Amino acid sequence: MTNVKKSIFTAVCMALCVVLPMAFHSVQNAGSIFLPIHIPVLLCGLLCGWSFGLACGIIGPVLSSLFTGMPPIAYLPSMLVELAAYGLITGIIMSNVHTKRIYADLYISLIGAMLAGRVVAGIAKALIFSPGHITMAAWVTSYFVTSLPGIIIQIVLIPSIVFALERAKLIPVRYPQISRNQ
Amino acid sequence: MNRMPIGQYIPGDSLIHHLDARVKLIAFILLISTIILTDSVPGYCSLMVLTAGLLFVSKVKLKTALGFIQSLFLFLMVIFVMNTLFFDSAQPICSWWIFHISLGGMAQGANVVLRVIFLMIFSSVLMATTAPMEAAFALKSLLRPLQYIRIPTEDLAIMISVAVQFIPVLMEETEMIRKAQTARGAKFESARLREKAASVMPLVIPIFLGAFRRADELSLAMEARGYRGGKNRTQNKQKPLRKQDILALLTAAAVCFIQAYAF
């Protein structure tokens, strides 16, 4: 993929950071359950690489906050750190893991980024945003228990989107030799 | 979904519309600092006067500036109620089980809600008076110092301006897909989590496919016209700041200073 294409894909992911939460908010309580803003950021990191994922993770929530007021500015910094970590880490893992199986690459990158991003967000909250107020139990509850439906949706949805994009020939096939042999 | 709560540009002929977008962005950041520094009744009264003045000068209707209230009402109410009920106060008005209603809690809740409301009003005024492309160029100009630490600000500005232009297009497309899936029997309003999740899947995949198809076409068109990234791109010379821009900037700085020290 050329850099121009990566830039435009990143721009679209940034726009989806604004549009997707609005689409989900039209479904009752879906925004807080399915974490829609995470999906374009994770996808951007997977498809375009760590630098573009990082840019999407920083700019996407800022645009969303400016245009729709969600997330509110008070929660924006902590969310920004979390999303930036997702974009950065998915990109890094995806470019360094080559198992010759796209499923494995995608799931290793996704799950690795989801775990690492949540750890980074927890550390940032404990040290910067609400020092002394976050406990281990609160971190586990807010980042894993409450968001469990969102995590499951992301694990199911993001690989499906990648395959749909590959099939539509909008992104290059990751292992063309293997796909041809199959 | 039919309209954005805030962020719609409304063409106009007011003093704020004619200000340089860079000045408006810096003034917005200063006003955010002002809101964060405010936590007293006189402080909020002065913010209210400032907001009224801003709405009058910008000719943005109060209804437009407060358009977000309807969609965020529940969220704001929850913030207020949570603060009122769970604030850890030494002198609660009344206590029951884990709930402690106190004046401190109410004040804290009102503080948070008022900050969000003022922030949203200022965001509405900024977005209503600044064309998206002007805002993107202003951002590019303000980000320029980051070039010294090797951040590709030109590329970032292009991404932001493309993203901003894509938002209304994608919103329209999303609404169309949502209606199409509803016609096919998707149950978006179902109370059951499983049905809700099942209805989300056929909504999201077509949104991404449509968005990436548009992005693919745009990138092909850009490359065909010789675009190779922002590094060596030429551009019109940026207009210098005028007297009214400098005056507006000084006013915003003075307001921030007065608000921080007087209230």
| A25-39, A77-91, B104-118, range with greatest mean pLDDT | A77-91
Q: For residue A124, what pLDDT is reported?
A: 86
Q: Which residues pair with B94 in a beta bridge?
A: B101
On the question of pLDDT at A178 being above 80, the answer is no
Q: Taking residues B149-165, what's their average pLDDT?
A: 82
pLDDT at position B161: 81
Taking residues A125-153, report their average pLDDT: 79
pLDDT, average across residues A88-97: 93
How much is the pLDDT for A16? 93
**Token pair 């922030």 is at which residue?**
B119
Which of B86-90, B104-108, B133-137, B151-155 shows the lowest per-residue confidence on average (mean pLDDT)?
B86-90
B142 interface with A at CB cutoff 8 Å: no
Considering only the beta carbons, identify the residue of B1, B4, B189 that sits closest to A67. B4
- At B5-26, the pLDDT tens digits run 556 788 888 989 999 988 998 9
pLDDT for B74 beyond 70: yes
The domains of chain A, with CATH numbers, are 3-181 (1.10.1760.20)
- The mean per-residue pLDDT over the stretch A11-32 comes to 78
Pick from B4, B38, B159 the residue to mutate for testing the A interface (most A CBs within 10 Å): B159
Mean pLDDT on B210-218: 92
Residue A25 to residue B69: CA distance in whole angstroms: 15
Instruction: Assign B237 a pLDDT band (cuts: 50, 70, 90).
Output: low
Taking all residues of chain B, what is their mean pLDDT, rounded to a whole number? 81
Closest partner CB to B1 (pick from A4, A23, A63): A23
Average pLDDT, stretch B108-114? 83
Cβ distance A170 to B213 less than 8 Å, yes or no, reads: yes
Which chain B residues are within 8 Å of A34, Cβ to Cβ?
Answer: 197, 200
Count of helix runs (H) and strand runs (E) in chain B: 10, 2
Q: What is the mean pLDDT of residues B221-241?
A: 75
Any idea which of A1-5, A173-177, B216-220 has the lowest mean pLDDT?
A: A173-177
Among A151-160, B105-114, B131-140, B169-178, name the most confident range.
A151-160
Task: Band the pLDDT of A27: cuts 50, 70, 90.
Answer: low
Kindly report the average pLDDT of chain A as a whole number: 85
The pLDDT, as a whole number, for residue A13 is: 94
Q: What is the pTM (predicted TM-score) of this model?
A: 0.74
Residue A49: list chain B partners with CB under 8 A: none
Calpha distance A76→A64 (Å, rounded): 10
Q: Of A54, A67, A46, whose CA–CA distance to A1 is shortest?
A: A46
Out of A112-121, B73-82, B113-122, B166-175, the most confident range is: A112-121
* pLDDT grade for B2, boundaries at 50, 70 and 90: very low
Q: Please state the domain extents for chain B.
A: 15-131+240-262, 153-224
List, as ranges, residues 148-207 from B with C-beta within 8 Å of A. 155-156, 158-160, 162-164, 166-167, 170-171, 174, 178, 188-189, 191, 193, 196-197, 199-201, 203-205, 207
Residue A149 or B248, more confident: B248
**Highest mean pLDDT range out of A109-113, A121-125, A149-153, B107-111?**
A109-113
Interchain contact, A11 vs B6, CB within 8 Å: no
Instruction: Give me the interface pTM, i.e. the ipTM.
Output: 0.89
